[in-house]
Chains A and B, each alone.
Chain A
Amino acid sequence: MAIVTYRDALNHALREEMERDPDVFLMGEEVGVYQGAYKVSRGLLEEFGSMRVVDTPITELGFAGVGVGAAMVGLRPVIEFMTWNFALLAIDQLVNSAAKMRYMSGGQVGVPAVFRGPGGSALQLASQHSQAFESYYAHIPGLKVVMPATPADAKGLLKSAIRDDDPVVFIEGEMLYNTRGEVPEGEHVVPLGQADVKRSGGDVTIVCHSKTVSLALKAAEDLAGEGIEAEIVDLRTIRPLDTETVLNSVARTHRCVVAEEGWPFAGIGAQVVDTIQHEVFDELDAPVLRVTGADVPMPYNKHLERAAKVDAGKIVAAVNEVLYRERDE
């Protein structure tokens, strides 16, 4: 298998889907001549021309609406937001148009659009540019929310998202673009709605997605040194949520920690915990704990920022708590 960056894996998915289906086109700020703020669309303008790789003005609501309209008449737009922080300006198009069109037209009109771009915090980008918004979109019936953690999943899931007949919110990890990983050669498609066990273990389940997957894997390594085997469940798709994989794991390990980059209140973890306590109550040996970003606007100060973010140590601490380990020492 080839070693590919997350950024290039997305680029390959776009190129392959644009080659496969002439209805697929890319639109957004700086996607063409500048080849993308994060260089995800490198080479695409040259290859597919300005009819299919469209630079827009700085008008998120406007080009999101154009994307919804194009999807309604049969095209398959991929709308790039420079970041999901900027997509707040376009949220009306996602929530009120894209998500509702199939329902309100009695099934006559679907919106096969992908809205994609980086989410979550990077480094010292301050409160307004360091936000994880997946719970905003996962809240909405009619939207699918996809968050790949690895290059292989980035490629396979973006291809599935583009082929999906409903609107997909595709949130990439801003800090993941440079990460490398093996990507299967040739056609590689990962179905939406399937979580992935990134590491097997019998002592505790750590549910995570996007950037927290690597943190959970790091935590699992540290825990393995102490004889604790953690199972890492990468949700990959937030909605529809693959409850089966999560529940099967928790039913075996009896203890669970849910990690996410976003804020705690009404976060993704809250939904996961609700499912667990409802479906496998009798399997639980400890309350499920959540590890989240701190419940504050992201500080700019780098020490405060570090304190506000999820890290492997916080995940290890939560695992120790659900294993009742602090009392053993």
Chain B
Amino acid sequence: MSTKVVMEALSPTMEEGRLVEWKKQEGDAVAVGDVLAEVETDKAVMELVARAGGTLLKQVVQAGTTVPVSELVAVIGEPGEKVEAPVGRGDGQAAPAKKPAPKAEAAEEPPAAPPGGPAAAGNGPPAAAPRPAAAPAASRSAGRVKASPLARRMAAERGIDISAVAGSGPEGRVVARDVEGSRPAVAGAAAAVRAPAVRGPAGQPYQDVPLTQIRKTIARRLAQSIGPIPTFYLTTEVDMERAREAREALLEAGGEKVSLNDIVIKAVAMALRQHPVCNAWWQDDHIRYWNEVHVSMAVAMEEGLITPVIRHTDLKSLREIAAESRDLAGRARERKLAPEEYTGGTFSVSNLGMLDIDEFTAVINPPEAGIVAVGRMAERPVVHEGAVAIRRRMRLTMSCDHRMIDGATGARFLQTLKGMLENPLAMVY
């Protein structure tokens, strides 16, 4: 009895995945839990794991192929077992999926039935019995979405198509948290920091490069963001002398290296505590004001960006934030973040200062209410205590979702943030 291996939904928003590399070759012995292949999802490179043991009989797709979720990618079975020409979609690995009884339209299906069919088929005939002439229509077996009653109701209330939500429950069941998570998601923040090096052979006017999963997701998310979200921008310039002094004192004291960005993240978290109106999610029919502060930080990757979240940012020390942001950014660049590490933020910070940007506007990371774009710290002539002086200055631009934040509200938040950076003691006051 062979078992079909299908492309699994490995992230909450994944609709298709690119099979990067096979880790098991045809003929290899496979145990439950073995990594069969690496799959690039819309956000990370993750592992496709065997749900059944035996021998990898067939790799249905080549490495490099992009495969929709629940499409067949491989077959596992007994050594020597024959695999006939596959076979369209799988019915899910070893899942006791209820198969629709073959009906008239089954005649449109290819007549070749895969040998044995899926393991553990719920109500199929015994293996020895002759199978019906046609395999069950794949689209229909894949079309039945497993979801908890609550998840279905929430999806209906919010106008979410539940079949587009990836389930995190047993056998891919869509549960409440998946519906909640289907709105707050990933991208947002600043534009990609560094374009991938695209160099075609000389003489060609252009080169077509297929969209990667992450690029598709960014496009979809950002368009979604800039379209329906009425955004306005507030800019202020901050005197960074004291923050810099504080940082240098910390560096001299040794221990975790605290960056200016870490100080900004901490200040944002503490300012959000004072301005909970800005620490909110737009939920279509309501606004969710968060009592917890989880700051997302935009991290540039080789290609694209991701916003890992520092949970409970306001409760963490600068030292903890520094350690965590370094760890998250490092793993983000290696694309080793788990989905829960880059979802669930309540406010974002994006920093292009290290790339000599004086100031910029960042795109809101929905459903969050705002994002602060951090420019570079630069020495500028300013009037300080009645005389022109050279001071280190930094510009902050806050993008605000006007549905939640009004002009004065955002300005007051920014004022608090500025005050904290200009007098870092205010953070712990």
B-binding residues in A (CB < 8 A): 254, 281-286, 324, 327-328
Assess whether B168 is interfacial by the CB under 8 Å rule. Answer: yes
A283 to B157, CA, bound (A): 13
> Which of A282, A285, A286, A328 neighbours the largest number of chain B CB atoms within 10 Å of its CB?
A285
Q: A254-B176, A286-B175, A324-B175 are in contact. Are A281 and B149 (CB under 8 A)?
A: yes
13 A-B residue contacts at CB 8 Å?
A282-B152, A284-B148, A284-B149, A284-B150, A285-B149, A285-B150, A285-B176, A286-B148, A324-B169, A324-B170, A324-B177, A327-B169, A327-B170
On whether the beta carbons of B149 and A324 are closer than 8 Å, the reply is no
Q: A254-B176, A324-B175 are in contact. Are A282 and B340 (CB under 8 A)?
A: no
Q: A285-B175, A285-B176, A286-B175 are in contact. Are A327 and B149 (CB under 8 A)?
A: no
A254 to B169, CA, bound (A): 15
Flag B230-251 by CB within 8 Å of A: 1 or 0 each.
0000000000000000000000
On whether the beta carbons of A283 and B150 are closer than 8 Å, the reply is yes
On whether the beta carbons of A286 and B169 are closer than 8 Å, the reply is yes
Assess whether B319 is interfacial by the CB under 8 Å rule. Answer: no
Which range holds the interface residue count of chain B?
10 to 19
**Chain B, 263-318, CB within 8 A of any chain A CB:** none
A324: chain B residues at CB < 8 Å are 168-170, 175, 177
A327 to B149, CA, bound (A): 20
On whether the beta carbons of B168 and A254 are closer than 8 Å, the reply is no
On whether the beta carbons of A283 and B149 are closer than 8 Å, the reply is yes
Assess whether B394 is interfacial by the CB under 8 Å rule. Answer: no
Q: A285 touches which one: B148, B170, B340 (CB < 8 A)?
A: B148
Assess whether B183 is interfacial by the CB under 8 Å rule. Answer: no
Q: A254 touches which one: B150, B152, B170, B340 (CB < 8 A)?
A: B150
A286 to B168, CA, bound (A): 12
CB-CB nearest 8 A-B residue pairs: A285-B150, A285-B176, A285-B148, A282-B153, A282-B149, A284-B149, A281-B149, A254-B150
* Chain A min CB distance to B221 (Å): 24
Which label, helix, strand, loop or mixed, suits the secondary structure of the B interface?
Answer: helix
A328 to B175, CA, bound (A): 13
Measured CB to CB, the nearest residue on chain A to B176 is A285
* Chain A min CB distance to B167 (Å): 10
Assess whether B151 is interfacial by the CB under 8 Å rule. Answer: yes
A282: chain B residues at CB < 8 Å are 149-150, 152-153
**Chain B, 107-159, CB within 8 A of any chain A CB:** 148-153
A283: chain B residues at CB < 8 Å are 149-150, 153
* Chain A min CB distance to B342 (Å): 15
Measured CB to CB, the nearest residue on chain A to B152 is A282
Measured CB to CB, the nearest residue on chain B to A321 is B170
* Chain A min CB distance to B264 (Å): 29
Measured CB to CB, the nearest residue on chain B to A324 is B169
On whether the beta carbons of A327 and B150 are closer than 8 Å, the reply is no
* Chain A min CB distance to B179 (Å): 10
* Chain B min CB distance to A223 (Å): 17
**Chain B, 333-356, CB within 8 A of any chain A CB:** 340
A271 to B152, CA, bound (A): 25
Beyond A284-B150, A324-B177, 19 additional pairs, beta carbon < 8 A: A254-B150, A281-B149, A282-B152, A282-B153, A283-B149, A283-B150, A284-B149, A285-B151, A285-B175, A285-B176, A286-B169, A286-B175, A324-B168, A324-B169, A324-B170, A324-B175, A327-B169, A327-B170, A328-B340
A285 to B170, CA, bound (A): 12
A286: chain B residues at CB < 8 Å are 148, 169, 175
A286 to B340, CA, bound (A): 21
A324 to B178, CA, bound (A): 11
* Chain A min CB distance to B292 (Å): 11
> Which of B149, B152, B169, B177 neighbours the largest number of chain A CB atoms within 10 Å of its CB?
B149
A31 to B149, CA, bound (A): 53
A327 to B169, CA, bound (A): 8
A254 to B176, CA, bound (A): 9
A328: chain B residues at CB < 8 Å are 340
* Chain A min CB distance to B254 (Å): 34
* Chain B min CB distance to A119 (Å): 35
A222 to B288, CA, bound (A): 29
A327: chain B residues at CB < 8 Å are 168-170
B150: chain A residues at CB < 8 Å are 254, 282-285
Measured CB to CB, the nearest residue on chain B to A254 is B150
* Chain A min CB distance to B206 (Å): 45
* Chain A min CB distance to B46 (Å): 14
* Chain A min CB distance to B150 (Å): 4
* Chain A min CB distance to B30 (Å): 22
Measured CB to CB, the nearest residue on chain A to B156 is A282
A254 to B149, CA, bound (A): 10
A327 to B171, CA, bound (A): 11
Measured CB to CB, the nearest residue on chain A to B153 is A282
* Chain B min CB distance to A255 (Å): 9
A286 to B151, CA, bound (A): 10
Measured CB to CB, the nearest residue on chain A to B338 is A328
A282 to B149, CA, bound (A): 5
A286 to B149, CA, bound (A): 8
A282 to B151, CA, bound (A): 8
A254: chain B residues at CB < 8 Å are 150, 176
Measured CB to CB, the nearest residue on chain B to A280 is B149
Measured CB to CB, the nearest residue on chain A to B148 is A285
Flag B168-202 by CB within 8 Å of A: 1 or 0 each.
11100001110000000000000000000000000
B169: chain A residues at CB < 8 Å are 286, 324, 327
A105 to B360, CA, bound (A): 87
* Chain B min CB distance to A279 (Å): 12
* Chain A min CB distance to B341 (Å): 12
B148: chain A residues at CB < 8 Å are 284-286
A282 to B156, CA, bound (A): 11
* Chain A min CB distance to B363 (Å): 30
A181 to B135, CA, bound (A): 65
A259 to B120, CA, bound (A): 31
* Chain B min CB distance to A308 (Å): 27
B175: chain A residues at CB < 8 Å are 285-286, 324
A285: chain B residues at CB < 8 Å are 148-151, 175-176
* Chain B min CB distance to A205 (Å): 13
B176: chain A residues at CB < 8 Å are 254, 285
A282 to B153, CA, bound (A): 6
B152: chain A residues at CB < 8 Å are 282
A281 to B177, CA, bound (A): 17
